[in-house]
Structure formats: C-alpha cells, structure tokens
Amino acid sequence: MARIYVKLAVMLVVLSFACSSALAYKKIRTFMPQAPELDLLGVKKIAVLDFTPSNASAQEAGKFIADKIIEYTLEEERGIRDIKGGLLSADVRGTTLIEGLTTRCFSVVERSRLESVLAEQSMSDGGLVGDAQAARIGELLGVDVLIYGDVSDSREDVRGYEKRRYNNQDYQVACITRKVTISANMRVVDTRSGEILGTRRSSRTASDKVCEGDNRDLKSDGQLAGHCANELTWEFTNMFNPWYALGEFELEKIKAKEFKDEAHAAAEAAENLEIDKAYAIYRKLYDSDPYNPLFLYNLGILYEVAGSFDRAEEMYANAVMLKDEEKYKEAAERIGRRARLAPFYASLDMAIVPYDFEAAASDASLLAKKVEVKGSSKDRVDVFVQPTQDSEIAAKVPGGIQLEVIEDTGEWYLVKLLGGKQGYISKKNTKD
C-alpha cells in the first residue's frame, strides 16, 4: 500500500508540473542586467575596508564581507549561471543576449596598498572609521568611493525534544538547534566631496537542527555565519554595482486564425533564442496590423531581451495605449528601470550595443516557409528537376530534414537543396 501511495504522489507531481507548463505559453529565458540602486556616475576606482566588528566573534565576518564585495565587484558576468531544468529536462547553460556590458565596472585598490595607507594613518583595517576620516583615506588612496561599515553577530544553541516515530511507536528524541544571525551596516562615501552616497542595514539568519539518531553532524557556527555573510554581501554589492538576474518573458499567444501558425512559429523560435527568426516573423505580422497590442508587446519583449531598450519602451507604451493590460504597464515600468543602465555605463566609457534587428527583418530566408520530409534519416526521398514523377531526379534527401520552400505549385513544392541546387518534392512526401 505504501508503494502505491508513493507512485500516486510521483504521478501527481508530474501531472501538476505538466498542467502548470501547459497553462503558460512560450517563454524567453535569458539573463538580464540589473541597475544598481546607486548611480555612481563617473566613479572609476573604489576601495573596500574590512567591516568593523562590534563583538569579537564578528571579526572574521567583517573581513569576509569586505573580501567578498571585492570578489563580486571584479566578476565579469556576476549572476549568470546555469538554468535549472524541470523534472523532465536537463540544465541549460545560462546566457545573455545583450552585448557590450560587463559587471566589472570599477577598479579596486589592492589590499596591500590599503593596509599600507591605513598603517601610515595609525589605524588598522577594520578599525572604526568616521566619515571625515573616510574621505581622507580615500584621498590618500586615490579612489572616488570608499565602502566600509560595521558588523555584529549572535549565536545560540537551543536544546529541546522532538517526537519521532520508529516501528510504529512514538519516541521523544533530544535535539539541538543552532542559530546564527549576522547584522551589518554599509556606507558608501564619495571621497571627493565627503558626501554619504548611500547606506544599507541588513541582517541574515541561518539555522540547523540535529536530533538523536540523525546520521550527520550539526553545522558549525562558521558554516552558518558564512552562509549569512555571503547573502549579505550579495545584497550590499547589488546596491552600487550591476548584476545579472534570470528574466522570464512570457509571450502573448496569438489565436487569430490568419496569424496563428506564423505567430506560433515565431514564439517557438524566440523560446529557442533564435531571435532573428522570431523578430522577422513578428515584424511581418506587425506591419500587417500595427495597431495590434499583442504584436507590439511581443516585439517589445524581443527588443528588451536584446538590449534595444528605447525601442522596447516605445512598443510597450503603444501596447498600453491600445489596451489597458496590467502586464503591459508592468513591462513599461520595468523597461524604464533598465534604461538607467545606459548613462551609468556611458560614464564608464562603455555602451549597451542594441541588436541589429533590421537585418533580420530584411532577411527573406528567415521568413521562408519550411517543410519537413517524411520518414527517418535512414530513408531517402526523391526530389525531381521538374514537378513530375517522370522527371530527372535532382537529389535523394533523407527523411526528417527541413527544406526551404521557394514556391508552392499545387501538388509540389519547389525547394532549396544543398550545393545551390533546387528541385520539386511531392507534397505527399512532406509534412508542414
């Protein structure tokens, strides 16, 4: 009976996943650059001090946070990772479609140089720093911005009991719950003016529990503290430095009979990140009906994921004008936030390179109809020089491949073949 329940549970999970997937339409999944909270326009060089520990046990965390901020700041594509697959699919390598950007925006003072200047000022890295003193240190280091702060932690083990069931009997077992909390304040100071550009206070808690009979050890204070400090550091770095986050953009499903097939082909291409093909089809549909908000919205998504934020903003705004749809308004607000990246990168002598979609729109091969040859790769299907079975054979093509259609002549397709050739294939031997 227990095995039956397990099988039923697995089936329910699979069905639930299948149903949720069926409800959603085609999605583009790609990593998008995120604008930091602070616009450090013109800032080229920064320094990061160890965070001052408020208690002795937080000293290691103070150094860890500073080192990790530096590490994150120097990463080229911070945040891009493999995309986890579902129950029935493998992981996919994460990628971004936007060119010209990096998350390594600032140079960072080396620790040896930092320690030398601090020694000259008769203070150790991690000592208490005032805002005026921070400006002075920044001036001596030749940096535009100094980042520093303070950190504290609390740690406790709580003993208790928990009910467990073994061999159909209930038992009280002894347990230990270990909890570590790290709290930190960060300050970002412009050393050129002494102005505090931003502050952030945040905390993280991590815990672990082990009970009598569990076949593992309780996680150490250091492991839990490291987890907390790592999460804090990610948040702090995001405050002043760009990063990438996975974006999921669900396309509008177009159901109108005259557009349905082409729109579905475009959505499938977009989901596979074949954005040239997707754009060429959507642009053709848009040109035939420029006041259709569905076409506007889908084109806006393509522009957005490819870094053409101005064009995306235009498309979303027009979609909102034509239809008061919440997701259209959300997209318009989102693209406004993305637009903040342009002046930030421009101040660093970098520029977002918008994708050249016009080349895709003019490429007729992307819009050409394709047909699939019936059969498998082991089969060979005749393609003739003329649209008749008595004609000379131009090629024998394997089943399962796609051929680009040059012309539909009724019962035959004139198709492109390898080597610059062309020929006629009977529609009986193809499937659209």
The pTM is what? 0.75
Tell me the mean pLDDT in the region 319-334.
94
Q: How far apart are CA 17 and CA 11, in angstroms?
A: 10
Task: State how far the Cα of 178 lies from the Cα of 300, in Å rounded to an integer.
Answer: 49
Cα dihedral 59→61→63→69 (10° resolution)? -160
Running DSSP on this structure, what letter comes out for residue 85?
P
| DSSP 8-state assignment for residue 400 | T
pLDDT surpassing 50 at residue 5: no
b/e 66-94 (16+ beta carbons within 10 angstroms → b): bebbbebbebebbbbeebeeeeeeeeeeb
Which is nearest to 251 in space by CA: 305, 192, 307, 210?
305
384 contacts 357 by C-beta, under 8 angstroms: no
412's tokens: 């035959």
Please give the average per-residue pLDDT across 45-52, as a whole number.
Answer: 93
**C-beta of residue 270 within 8 angstroms of C-beta of residue 278:** yes
| pLDDT score of 362 more than 70 | no
Three-class SS of residue 233?
Answer: helix
Domains with residue ranges and CATH for the chain: 28-240 (3.40.50.10610), 249-361 (1.25.40.10), 368-431 (2.30.30.40)
The pLDDT value given to residue 78: 96
The model's pLDDT over 403-426, given as tens digits with 9 standing for 90+, comes to 888 888 889 999 988 777 899 999
Hey, is 44 helix, strand or coil? coil
Integer Cα distance of 178 and 210 in angstroms = 9
CB 300 within 8 A of CB 315: yes
**What mean pLDDT is reported for the chain?**
87
**325, burial (CB in 10 Å: exposed 0-12, middle 13-18, buried 19+):** middle
Put the strands of the sheet holding 430-431 in their side by side order: 393-398, 380-384, 422-426, 412-416, 402-408, 370-373, 430-431
Name the DSSP class of 419: G
